[in-house]
Amino acid sequence: MRTLHWDPSMAVGVDEFDRDHEHLLGLYNELFAVCGTGAGAAEVKGVLDRLLSYANDHFRREEEAMRAAGYPGTGAHEAAHDQLVLGLSRMREEIEHGRAACPGADALEFLHGWIVTHTLEMDKAYGPFLNTRGNR
């Protein structure tokens, strides 16, 4: 597991979403960093809250753009977003209820893998379609 840095190989072809992804990677890195320093639950929960809130905002922006363009993969894409929101919500619950000080290594691994795979596969797939409808 390692920190994540946006690079052009992750570009999906829509500038707004590339900026969103860079920001999302930064929040993942913050969580990764805060969990490596033995921070208290309140601090960890604060980072998770911001990550969950930003992920929700970003997902809503993507979903609105896909729906507006009539992108055929919208339903499956939304289901994938929901899966991450559920995973993040569970991580937050664990911390909120004092069951853990930080998401475990497996949870961070899931998050890392989800962000990379989702961006490179599902997000990249909508790029050309949105581009043909003027969204760049």
Residues in the site for Fe ion, rule: CB under 5 A? 62, 123
Alpha-carbon gap, residue 5 to 22, rounded angstroms: 7
CB of residue 39 vs Fe ion: minimum separation in angstroms?
27
Report the residue number, 30 or 123, with the smaller CB distance to Fe ion.
123
Sign, CA dihedral 62-67-73-74, equals positive
Amino acid letter, 20: D
Report the residue number, 62 or 94, with the smaller CB distance to Fe ion.
62
Report the residue number, 101 or 125, with the smaller CB distance to Fe ion.
125
CB of residue 81 vs Fe ion: minimum separation in angstroms?
6
CB of residue 78 vs Fe ion: minimum separation in angstroms?
9
Nearest 10 degrees: CA dihedral of 14, 49, 36, 25?
0
Report the residue number, 94 or 123, with the smaller CB distance to Fe ion.
123
Amino acid letter, 84: L
- Token readout for 35 is 């969990």
CB of residue 51 vs Fe ion: minimum separation in angstroms?
13
Question: Greatest CA separation found in the chain?
Answer: 49
